[in-house]
Amino acid sequence: MATKDFGVIETDYAFFMSHATEAKSDVEEYARKLVGFGNGRSDIHLLDFGCGTGEFSRQLLDALAWPKASLYLTLFEPVDHQQEIAAKRLSCYSDHAIASLGEASYDQRPTFDVILSNHVLYYAENLGQTIDQLLERLHPEGKMLLAMAGHENALIKLWKVGFDLLNQPIPYYVAEDVAENLASHDVRIEMSLSHYQLRFPDSEENRWKILRFLFGDYLRKIPREELLQEFDPYVEDDHIAINTFSEHFLVELNAKA
Ligand SMILES: C[S@@+](CC[C@H](N)C(=O)[O-])C[C@H]1O[C@@H](n2cnc3c(N)ncnc32)[C@H](O)[C@@H]1O
């Protein structure tokens, strides 16, 4: 599948994050899934796969309030400077050095108690291989937590419109692909929904910011007016207000006989 460079759309993604309740709803959903997980554990090894600038995990770790002495963090993010920002931002939640996936220190700790990948797997080059690799790194009693939007999500519907205009299928994975792939593994899966609102002052530039975040480089090739008008049904006074939802997956390994 296509790759997507979040370095060049950093400010557009930040605009989305600051005008959506998505992160707040996702944090609440993960925190529900992790209630009591820290109790009695002296070590919690957490991998944040596709951490971006760490802003999401900052909010999650605030909510979880796990002891700094127990938490060991490992990050993976293809945009190098974002991973550096994330490491700085998250360092106050752990007494231990923040590790990077692929470092020697990471290999010394082969499994993680929690693997988080929040709205990342759309952009995997090979979803099956990525999920296999993540499951290999999940501790037998660990939890893998994923969020992904599916075909019923309003933004994925925008992808469909835009890529239809280019006469091509959506070049990214969606929640349904993750569900299908996980079904072929020997794992327990609990799915739930996370509802959120995207609301921003209506202007052509703001509509364009959301489109740049969604389409990245592809946007240059898509007829501008046809995509911009896709926001019209969501006009509320002088704002755009989109109510939609994502899927959450809690994945645990089945005990080996
Ligand atoms: C929508 S952002 C989510 C960032 C962060 N997890 C959050 O919740 O704010 C998607 C992130 O996935 C990263 N990403 C893109 N392709 C990736 C890949 N193949 N493997 C891991 N991460 C990837 C991007 O650089 C970006 O930081």
User: What pLDDT tens digit does each residue of the chain (257 aa) get?
Assistant: 888 899 999 999 999 999 999 999 999 999 999 999 999 899 999 999 999 999 999 999 999 999 999 999 999 999 999 999 999 999 999 999 999 987 655 556 679 999 999 999 999 999 999 999 999 999 999 999 999 999 999 999 999 999 999 999 999 999 999 999 999 999 999 999 999 999 999 999 999 999 999 999 999 999 989 999 999 999 999 999 999 999 999 999 997 65
Which of 50, 51, 55 minimizes the C-alpha distance to 20?
55
- Sequence ranges of the domains in the chain: 10-150+170-196+243-253
Atom of ligand 1 nearest to the CA of 123: 16
| Structure tokens that stand for 57 in this block | 């995990």
Tell me which residues have their CB closer than 6 angstroms to ligand 1.
Answer: 4, 6, 49-52, 55-56, 77-79, 82, 118-120, 123-125
Report the alpha-carbon distance of residue 218 to residue 199 in Å, rounded: 24
The DSSP string of 42-103 is S-EEEEEET-TTSHHHHHHHHHH---TTTEEEEEE-SSHHHHHHHHHHHGGG-SSPPEETTS
Residue 110's pLDDT is 77
The protein residue with its alpha carbon nearest to ligand 1, atom 13, reads 50
Residue 256's pLDDT is 61
Tell me the CA–centroid distance for residue 123 and ligand 1, in Å: 7
Report the alpha-carbon distance of residue 33 to residue 20 in Å, rounded: 22
The protein residue with its alpha carbon nearest to ligand 1, atom 4, reads 52
- Class of residue 163 by CB neighbours under 10 A (exposed 0-12, middle 13-18, buried 19+): middle
Report the alpha-carbon distance of residue 53 to residue 83 in Å, rounded: 6
Name the amino acid, one letter, at 139: H
Tell me the CA–centroid distance for residue 119 and ligand 1, in Å: 7
Q: Which CATH superfamily is domain 10-150+170-196+243-253 in?
A: Vaccinia Virus protein VP39 (3.40.50.150)
State which of 6, 55, 56, 129 you would mutate to test the pocket of ligand 1, scoring each by most atoms of that ligand within 8 A of its C-beta.
6
Tell me the CA–centroid distance for residue 92 and ligand 1, in Å: 22
Atom of ligand 1 nearest to the CA of 79: 25
